[in-house]
Structures are given as C-alpha cells and as structure tokens.
Structure 1
C-alpha cells in the first residue's frame, strides 16, 4: 500500500465512523440531545435510557454497520490492508468524532462490526464471549472488556497476525475508554444488567455501546 492509499483509507474510515447515529436518531425522534442524559454517551446503552428500545437497537446496528461498511468497501476496492485501516479508523471516528469535540461512544459495537468484516470468525468469537460473560456475571462492561480482549488472541490463533495487531490496538483503546468502569469493577461497584438504577435514573455509566440485556 502507498502512503496515499493508507491516508485515504484512514480518512474515509474516520469520517464514516464519526457519524453519531445515536445522537441523530434521538434528535429526529424529538428526544433532545442524548448527551444531556445518563452517562452523556452517544452509544446504544445511553439511547436505551430514553425508554426507546427500538432506537437503541437501531443505534447498535448502525454503529456496528458503519465500521463494517467502511472496512468492507475499502477492503474490496483496495485490498485487505486498506480494509483493516478503514475499519480501525472508523472505530476511532466513533469514539473521537471531530463534530462532537472528540467525545463519542465507547466503541464496542463499532469494534464488533469491524471484526465481523475484516475476519468474521473473530467477530463471532467476540459476540460469543460477550454473551457468555453477560449471562454468567450480568455485568455489561465486564462482558464487553472480556469480548474485546478475546479478539487479538482469537485472531492470532487463527493465524491472522494483521487482524490480531489491529484488534490489540483497538482493545487498548476500549480499555482506556472503560477506565471508569474498570475502577468500579475493582471496587465491586459496577451495576449489573437489569439491576436497580441509581438516584439519577442511570445505571452508573455502564455504557459499553450495547443494550442492557444480552438478548437485546
């Protein structure tokens, strides 16, 4: 790949990934600015706090889909490396959108969408890990962190060092974005899925960009 093609893939992926679907959908539905409620996040979990499960599900699909489409499009036209770059930067665009002062979502849905396209067995491993961990521990953020950690190892075991490298970088970012959740997990204070809300009506900023139930 030439430097120009890498830059084009990065820019295209970032711009597509930076579309804040959660914010757009809730505003179109007349629910105001999603950043003004709950955790202030633009992901599906915070959209769910509006009481609109349909919008939360659509946000989840679109946040995953935008990264997947970016990776698929650039990968199809310019090759595997371009797809990896575009998918990775779509993740960055979702988490750090220039339009919102670089304050976006926590990237889990976008991460899944990227993995499903760049190497679908890893994407399925990520989803399976999330479902299993969520079913056992009933903690959304813990399930998300475990699922992200599974990706680079799964890619390496399948012999895809390129995917493992990208997944490793994105996993580090996911852990950094979930640092408040990790702190609460270590203290035993992280809310459980379907658990009692706090006084502000939120679930303690448990955002992991997915609805609060594994089946959603």
Structure 2
C-alpha cells in the first residue's frame, strides 16, 4: 500500500491537465511549482480546481482504502506520507513535483468532515487576510494536528507527520515571506480583445 500510494502520488495532475488544455508546463511558469495555486496564475480558476481535486484524490484514495482495511493509524500516516512524497518527488516526472498540500489535505479528509472544514476554514481565513497561499497552507498545516487531537486523537500522530512534511516543503516560502518577496494570490488576467 505504501508503494501504491507513492505511485499514485507520482501522477502529476498539474502537468497532465496543463498538457490536455494546451497550457505550458507549470514547472516552467510562475513559481515553477506544479500545483493548483501556480496553475491558477497562468491557467485560470477552472484549471486550478481540476488540479486541486485530482491532487486531493491522490491522498484521499490510498488513505481511505487503508482506513477501510483497518490499518494502524501510524501506518495510515506512513501511507499518506508516501502519497505526498510521490507528489513532491514524482518518479514519472523526474522527481520534480509540488508542495504536497492538496495531497496531504486529501489524505486527512477520511478522518472526518469536521477536520476538513476546520482546515479549509483556516486556509481561507489566512488567505483572505494575507493574500498568501503559502502562509495559508503553513497555517493549516500547523493547526491540523491540534484540530485532529481535538476531534479524533487516534490520528494526531500521523497528521502531525504530514504537517511536518508540508512545513519543511515550504521552507523557501518561509524565507520569502520573512524577506517580503513572496508572491500574493492573483487570478489570471484576461487579455484585452
């Protein structure tokens, strides 16, 4: 299941969806990150939503299958991390992937809708206030183990493991945030006719 989760995570929806829609490779545009936020900057909201949904499914499906099979919560966390590592270091795309936020979120969703709502609420609140997607993701990652401990403490450790991975993956964003160089959330500008 760990290997299957890694391979599922290695399917880069951002790259594939951009190819299908005739858009540039996200690894060559904007932040060069093959994730929904970067895709939104040059491909628009509909493309970004497609990327977001598929990235979430890469984490949700392996985690949910493990949950149904009664896998120990710690190993469930390892399976979820394997899916995220596949997204971050995809074997099918030269080991150059995204941050893993949507995949990690997808892996946490099977824990419960209440946790999902808390994480979405945290992301939206921070993104609306600051206009920084990275800060919103980091904030949600920091709060995820706290929410999980409050809602279902059995999964606090695996969620904490995922959160640490997400925060480490955002180290460059943290540096840019501290220096005031981080890119804010923007939508694709329509070209005048």
Band of TM-score, shorter chain: 0.7 to 0.9
Instruction: Determine if contact 1:73/1:83 at 8 Å carries over to the other structure.
Output: no
Match of 1:50 in 2: 42
RMSD: 2.1
Match of 2:64 in 1: 72
Matched ranges for 1:151-170 at <5 A:
151-161=144-154, 163-170=155-162
**How many equivalent pairs are there?**
187
Deviations 1:148-205 (A, max 9, x none): 10001111223414x221122222221221111101211233233339xxxxxxxxxx
Is 2:129 the partner of 1:140? no
Q: Secondary structure at the match of 1:39?
A: coil
Q: Which runs of 5+ in 1 are unaligned?
A: 1-8, 196-210, 212-216
Deviations 1:103-144 (A, max 9, x none): 211011111111111343322211111111112222211111
Matched ranges for 1:3-82 at <5 A:
9-79=1-71, 81=73
Instruction: Determine if contact 1:43/1:59 at 8 Å carries over to the other structure.
Output: yes
- Out of 108, 111, 122, which is 1:115 matched to? 108
More helix, by proportion: 2
Q: Secondary structure at the match of 2:69?
A: helix
Q: Secondary structure at the match of 1:50?
A: helix
Q: Which runs of 5+ in 2 are unaligned?
A: 189-193
* Farther off after superposition, 42-51 or 54-63: 42-51
Matched residues in 2 for 1:165 and 1:24: separation? 33
- Out of 192, 196, 199, which is 2:184 matched to? 192
Matched residues in 1 for 2:184 and 2:31: separation? 16
TM-score, L = length of structure 2: 0.87
Match of 1:124 in 2: 117
